[in-house]
Structure 1
């Protein structure tokens, strides 16, 4: 369903991306923001899934400014290398890629301001970048288990926002979740009691919790169905 594309990022050159198109006219468009493992087969499948839901979906290869074509596994070495690449990339370059990706999607849609809007959905590290896509660029956004969110919660939201957390996620405690509710009372915050971290990662049986993933996806589609028009 998807294809490899290049995204022009002002000041950073080109980065790759996986662009998935819906079968019919798009209901809107989404920047799909990866975990720390790159745009691997799982993230391409996530983008394809959103295309199946009717959205034009673009998953930029965020690590390309540091190392092209990164696709990491979920073992210890993958975690270690992913964290190194996140540190080397930095938040500013990540946000520049989000902004360029949103512009690419608007151009694809022919959106002059009156057509379908663009949103962002991100996972783990990408969940925090999705939050910043909302606060910095005004994109309706969904953050799945964004472990780095807390340091940015003082930034005001500029569009509809949804947070998903696993109740058994040891990297995001109850206090951190409570801070999301306190600082962003207008956002939807959902906790899935049977889920741990990365519960949407269906290729990883150690992480995925299918019932929670299905419910979170339904809620995600509901937010974008309301916000992107």
Structure 2
């Protein structure tokens, strides 16, 4: 089990972050970026999992600027609430809050720092790699990556997408690949959100393979 700490962004905004620590010294630090559903049970479990693998994992609450303590599920009214967040999202503000988490993680671990993000977080991970503020990045099915496909990439990064993703088109994936042929893009026979075992599109085989690839990549570039 991890714990919540307070972080301060460059503009003075204070936000929560869930921190999961490994046993012994961390091999590196890893910032875990949420989906549209907040730092919920799934994202905390992801952070806990990477802590067990030896990383100091930090998951910042990127929605604290407009609603604190967002921790919702994936169905019914929770889904409706999650969709209501989209008009409130500010990429610049989320980047500032992500930077605060990266700074904290790097200082706490005293070692290289990576980022891994899911859905909304996948796009934030891409932006962090383009800004050169991390040592490595992993993006899972980030819907805004194609929008920022032309951004220069300044850190090693890999991307995971589901072939059956109804939210991210083949054309979007092709745009990313054309702009950055050096970036490994892994495709899975799955839909959007395939990594999350709390979502209807969860695909155990795809999630397992993607995580194995992510862990190998992160250890290679951060350890």
The TM-score bracket by the shorter chain reads over 0.9
TM score, norm. by length of structure 1: 0.93
Q: In the alignment, what sits opposite 2:37?
A: 37
Q: Quote the offset at 1:83 in angstroms.
A: 3.3
Q: Quote the offset at 1:103 in angstroms.
A: 0.5
TM score, norm. by length of structure 2: 0.95
* Structure 2 unmatched runs, 5+: none
Question: Matches of 1:16 and 1:5 in 2, distance apart?
Answer: 6
Question: Matches of 1:155 and 1:66 in 2, distance apart?
Answer: 28
Q: 1:150 to 1:76 in 2, by over 3 A?
A: farther
Q: In the alignment, what sits opposite 1:66?
A: 66
2:137 counterpart of 1:134 = no
2:221 counterpart of 1:227 = yes
Q: Provide the secondary structure at the position in 2 that maps to 1:122.
A: strand
Q: In the alignment, what sits opposite 2:194?
A: 199
* Structure 1 unmatched runs, 5+: none
Q: Quote the offset at 1:82 in angstroms.
A: 2.2
Q: Provide the secondary structure at the position in 2 that maps to 1:223.
A: helix
Q: In the alignment, what sits opposite 2:148?
A: 152
Question: Matches of 2:40 and 2:6 in 1, distance apart?
Answer: 16
- Counterparts of 1:114-129 in structure 2, within 5 Å, are 116-129=111-124
Count of aligned pairs between the two proteins: 222
2:210 counterpart of 1:216 = yes
Q: 1:183 to 1:37 in 2, by over 3 A?
A: same
Structure 1 runs (4+) deviating above 4 angstroms are none
Question: Matches of 1:129 and 1:199 in 2, distance apart?
Answer: 18
Give the superposed CA RMSD: 1.3
65-74 vs 83-92, greater mean Cα deviation:
83-92
